[in-house]
Amino acid sequence: CCQQQNEVEVNTMTILYTVVARSSDGVILAESSAVDLKGNHPQVTAQLISSITNDLNCFAANNHKTFVHRPDIENSSELDHFFHVLSGNGVLSVCLSDDSTVREQNVNFVFLQQVQEEFEEKYPSSKIARANAYAMEQGFARKISQLMHEYSINRGSLGRTEKVAKLTAEIESLKVAMGHNIRFSLERGHNIEGLIQTSDELLEEAKVFEKRSDDLRKSVKQKAQSHTMILIATCVFVIYIMSSTICGFNFKK
């Protein structure tokens, strides 16, 4: 029953794509997409980030805002999609979602806050300022995927928290913000079981990595203790030989 509830929640309200970029020039440092997601969302997100970073006066630091893309054709079966942007200390975090209510959209800003906090905790500002494009991809993309999974399947409970209730965000048209018409296409796979399985595998791999790290630390500690014992034994033996040489093996001198 619990699994069915999670599957429905993932299918209707999901964080589809997340990017962390440098706010000074819009260089993308790390990104992650949901399973089976196809389309030009990375290109559109990069264009949006470029538009924001070219006019940072319109987007103050430590601010958050939502840009919506709505289909041009009336009665279209295509859903509205929302680009949620959060500015931090030298970084911009952006996530793409298909939320249907303001409360659900605000969960994304709590998600982006956690992404930024963990990113800034892991990477000092000096490293962020000098990093090349996608420099943190290998070290941080897996963490983004784990957080996307967590916030996607727990959106109902997270949406009722006080932290989410206090959030409000201005919503602006994506096309107006970028100053020109854009072509936005997105295709989502319907393999929800695959999404949950893949995300669970990411979490399991993280646990395995943590266990291996603990085993490695124990092994290094044991080797250090062994080396210490060998060193002590060697010193005792050397002292014994020197004493024997001077005093004789019976220590009668």
User: Where in the chain are the domains?
Assistant: 2-190
User: Under a CB-based contact definition with an 8 Å cutoff, are residues 66 and 85 in contact?
Assistant: yes
Which range among 5-19, 125-139, 144-158, 230-244 shows the weakest confidence by mean pLDDT? 5-19
What CA–CA distances, in Å, run from 48 to 36, 159, 176, 187?
23, 26, 11, 20
Exposed, middle or buried: residue 117 (CB in 10 Å: 0-12, 13-18, 19+)? exposed
What pLDDT shows up at residue 209?
55
In the CATH hierarchy, which fold is given to the domain comprising 2-190? Beta-Lactamase (3.30.450)
What CA–CA distances, in Å, run from 72 to 28, 78, 168, 171, 173?
29, 10, 26, 18, 12
Which range among 66-80, 99-113, 200-214, 233-247 shows the weakest confidence by mean pLDDT? 200-214
Structure tokens at 54: 């070219």
In this predicted structure, the answer to whether residue 3 has a pLDDT above a threshold of 60 is no
CA gap 237, 186 in Å, rounded = 74
In this predicted structure, the answer to whether residue 146 has a pLDDT above a threshold of 90 is yes
Which range in 72-86, 125-139, 206-220 is most confidently predicted, on average pLDDT? 125-139
pTM > 0.85: yes or no: no
User: Under a CB-based contact definition with an 8 Å cutoff, are residues 84 and 69 in contact?
Assistant: no
What pLDDT shows up at residue 5?
38
What pLDDT shows up at residue 8?
36
Structure tokens at 1: 């029953």
Best CA proximity match to 136, nearest among 213, 34, 22: 22
CA gap 129, 74 in Å, rounded = 44
Best CA proximity match to 121, nearest among 113, 130, 109: 113
Cα dihedral sign, 229-232-234-236: negative
CA gap 102, 54 in Å, rounded = 28
